[in-house]
Amino acid sequence: LTFQRDYGPTLFAGASNVTFDFVVVGAGSAGATLAARLSEISEWNVLLLEAGGDPPEYTEVPLRYGEALTSDVDWTFITEPEPRLFAGLERGRGLISRGLMLGGSSSMNAMMYLRGTRRDFDEWERLGNAGWGFGDVLPYFVKSENFTGGRRRDAVPHGRGGPLTVSPLVSIDPAYSSIADGNRLLRLAELDDTNRFAPPAVGYGPMDFTVRDGLRCSTLKAFLLPAGERPNLFVAKNARVTRVLMQSPADGGNGTSRAVGVEYVAPSGRAGRVYVTREVILSAGVIMSPQILMVSGVGPAKHLRQHGIRVVSDLPVGYNYQDHVSFAGLVFSDRKNRSRADVARESADLVRATFDLVSRGVGTLGLTNLVSFVDTADKGRADVQVVYLRFPYNSTRNTPNGRNKLSNLFGYSDRVATLFDDLNMLSDSIHAIPINVDGRSTGRVALRSADPLDRPKIHTNYLSHDDEIRTLLRGIDFVVQLSKTKPMVDAGLELEPVAYPDCAAHAWGTRDYWLCAIRNVATSFYHPVGTCRMGPTCDRRSVVDTSLNVIGLRGLRVIDSSIMPKVVSVNTNAATIMIAEKGSDIIKRCYGKLA
Ligand SMILES: Cc1cc2nc3c(=O)[nH]c(=O)nc-3n(C[C@H](O)[C@H](O)[C@H](O)COP(=O)(O)OP(=O)(O)OC[C@H]3O[C@@H](n4cnc5c(N)ncnc54)[C@H](O)[C@@H]3O)c2cc1C
């Protein structure tokens, strides 16, 4: 997976002061999509600057998706400590993984393809974002997609022939039917298509994945590589943008400042500049887009002044950080109902069969591929998503960095990870992970210093409302109820009474125990968004307007997951790609290039 025409060496060799029509910063889910779409206009020269390089080969294999986390292709952001959270995580802080490579987080994510519900986007519209309601955005999901599955009972419009391949995966996990049957007994409907939106998707079913011929279909593969030969698309790897270059208004007074280019650092540490005739577009993701804005003088005036940064525009950059909080501490195993010899043999057989599928080009994540959307409080919509993740017997320590897989995935401290290793030494572990997809806490990304190479501070503020904790508790209760259903009991799958060291004062399974366990390991489910919030210009919470222009400036937009005014109630990759698809059309229309 190599992007052949790396413009980086030419740029770094001193071709300074070169000018492009557009510079896109960050080649992630949004940036790779956007740059490819903009370069469809042959008279536009588009430069895409990416801080990382090509993704390692193993990231192609869906089954190995967890390996990139905390590796050198992960930014591995660490949150600030928070009093009510993260007690069982490494150094008492949360882990926020983000891809540092072409394709960005789409090159390391779990590939689940879920778009969001009608309600999600109609809520964006209700918040003042005309043109972003469900009916407006649906065509962009369809435009991207090449769905390889067959016709389904649930009438969801799927795209055929778009660049992004979406495939149903084969699951050979023997727990699939027990969990599915258990869900049914808990009165959840079977969803033929988990992207169903009317009536809202409450139920359980198999997910679709951004997988092509058994391999990952990142935005690098879907959008950038096919555009790679275009003479007007320039992609520079290993170029880290440090700030946006601003030109003050000609009269030096009250006019509007304009973005005229960006400054970057090459791997040698040498700084360079490139300029634009039209626009700079930040697609550096939820943590770095706000950081680049702030070090460039666009952000909360008081905060910028505290760091000695000249204020170009006073905007609430970095606020409105939202995420989905998950609890990955519920583990099923059937060890009590099988001999150790059977455990080892059957687990090895399953792993072999899974790899066999992979080698035949049939993608599988090695997890059950099943998802539940549960309405735990009769809200008429799902407030909890549950995913089910299998770790085969004696595999949790089998990682390139030697750390436990849950430490790499969720930032667990060694003290906590050991509990799961010990269980996994006895049999396969199936983690049932409830995720609160109806949260309302907002956190903040703030500057640590004015140095653009410094890591920003992430204050997650997760679960700051008691009702969010209650939602997670109801999600945990759903899994507990699932464990009591006949199919799970018949399959011998029992919940393991994991004894968190900090929670010894509470009996396992009591409400106080779960509250303590949440405090230990509840953390991000990889969906932070919202730090450059889109909204009407009259709304003081907005950073970009509905055309994704940074408010009050010229020549500068943000187009990535950070613009979401409210996090969608599902995984965020598809919605981010939609934002880039729609964003590119907005730009083309703005310059009269949309047919
Ligand atoms: C481990 C993991 C699992 C996930 N699983 C799923 C899933 O199964 N399904 C799903 O829908 N979503 C999933 N997500 C979430 C989804 O992938 C993200 O929401 C989405 O990729 C965000 O896209 P983005 O374009 O905003 O940012 P990113 O894709 O993160 O792209 C930002 C890009 O900008 C680059 N960049 C940053 N700063 C600079 C700079 N200063 N200069 C140059 N380049 C820079 C980065 O290196 C990166 O390439 C997962 C995410 C992770 C991390």
SS3 26: coil
Predicted pLDDT at 563: 98
Task: For Cα atoms 455, 458, 464, give the angle at the middle one, nearest 5 degrees.
Answer: 175
**Residue 54 CA, ligand 1 centroid: distance in Å:** 14
**Residue 525 CA, ligand 1 centroid: distance in Å:** 13
Cβ burial 176-215 (10 Å sphere, 16+ → b, else e) = bebbbbbbeeeebeebebbbbbeebbbbbbbbbbbbbebb
Q: What are phi and psi of 528, to 5 degrees?
A: -70, 140
* Amino acid symbol at 312: V
The residues with which 236 forms a beta bridge, in sequence order, are 49
Predicted pLDDT at 15: 65
pLDDT greater than 90 at residue 539? yes
In this prediction, residue 338 has a pLDDT band, given cuts at 50, 70 and 90, of confident
For the ranges 41-55, 87-101, 169-183, 550-564, the lowest mean pLDDT is seen at 169-183
Atom 20 (ligand 1) nearest CA: 573
Check residues 200 and 485 and name the one with the higher pLDDT.
485
- Does residue 157 contact residue 595 with C-beta atoms inside 8 Å? no
For the ranges 296-300, 331-335, 474-478, the lowest mean pLDDT is seen at 331-335
Q: What sign results for the dihedral spanned by CA atoms 345, 346, 349, 350?
A: negative
Closest atom of ligand 1 to 284 CA is 34
**Residue 53 CA, ligand 1 centroid: distance in Å:** 14
- Does residue 82 contact residue 460 with C-beta atoms inside 8 Å? yes
Atom 21 (ligand 1) nearest CA: 105
Ligand 1 site, residue 164, Cβ cutoff 6 A: no
SS (H, E, C) 323-372: CCEECCCCEEECHHHCCHHHHHHHHHHHHHHHHHHHHCCCCCCCCCCEEE
Which residues, other chains included, contact 418 with Cβ-Cβ below 8 Å and sequence gap of 6+?
Answer: 404
Closest atom of ligand 1 to 264 CA is 42
**Residue 247 CA, ligand 1 centroid: distance in Å:** 30
pLDDT greater than 70 at residue 252? no
In this prediction, residue 254 has a pLDDT band, given cuts at 50, 70 and 90, of low
- Does residue 561 contact residue 580 with C-beta atoms inside 8 Å? no
Q: Render pLDDT for 461-511 as a digit per residue (tens, 0 to 9).
A: 999 999 999 999 999 999 999 999 999 999 999 999 999 989 999 999 999
pLDDT greater than 70 at residue 16? no
Atom 52 (ligand 1) nearest CA: 109
- Does residue 6 contact residue 48 with C-beta atoms inside 8 Å? no
- Pairing of β 384-391 and β 370-374: antiparallel
Ligand 1 site, residue 289, Cβ cutoff 6 A: no
In angstroms, the first-to-last Cα distance of the chain is 33
Ligand 1 site, residue 109, Cβ cutoff 6 A: yes
CA distance 486 to 482: 9
- Going by the DSSP 8-state scheme, the letter that residue 222 receives in this structure is I
What percent of the chain is predicted at pLDDT more than 70?
A: 99
pLDDT greater than 80 at residue 330? yes
The residues with which 212 forms a beta bridge, in sequence order, are 215
Predicted pLDDT at 263: 97
Predicted pLDDT at 196: 87
Check residues 441 and 501 and name the one with the higher pLDDT.
441
| Residue 527 annotated in active site | yes
Ligand 1 site, residue 25, Cβ cutoff 6 A: yes
Ligand 1 site, residue 265, Cβ cutoff 6 A: no
DSSP H stretches of helix in 505-563: 511-521
pLDDT greater than 90 at residue 412? yes
pLDDT greater than 80 at residue 154? no
Q: 381 is written with which tokens?
A: 């919509």
pLDDT greater than 90 at residue 197? no
Question: Looking at the predicted complex, does its ipTM rise above 0.90?
Answer: yes
Mutate to test the pocket of ligand 1, among 77, 98, 388 (most ligand atoms within 8 A of CB): 98
Question: Which one, of 461, 335, 347, 342, lies nearest residue 394 by Cα?
Answer: 347
SS3 33: helix
- Does residue 567 contact residue 117 with C-beta atoms inside 8 Å? no
Which residues, other chains included, contact 90 with Cβ-Cβ below 8 Å and sequence gap of 6+?
Answer: 407, 411, 412, 413, 414
Ligand 1 site, residue 324, Cβ cutoff 6 A: no
- Does residue 334 contact residue 179 with C-beta atoms inside 8 Å? no
Mean pLDDT of the chain: 95
Predicted pLDDT at 181: 97
Q: Render pLDDT for 347-392 as a digit per residue (tens, 0 to 9).
A: 999 989 988 888 888 877 776 789 999 999 999 999 999 999 999 9
Ligand 1 site, residue 326, Cβ cutoff 6 A: no
In this prediction, residue 169 has a pLDDT band, given cuts at 50, 70 and 90, of confident
**Residue 106 CA, ligand 1 centroid: distance in Å:** 6
**Residue 552 CA, ligand 1 centroid: distance in Å:** 27
Average pLDDT over residues 43-47: 98
Check residues 384 and 401 and name the one with the higher pLDDT.
384
Tokens 């033929």 sit at which residue? 192
Closest atom of ligand 1 to 29 CA is 25
Closest atom of ligand 1 to 66 CA is 1
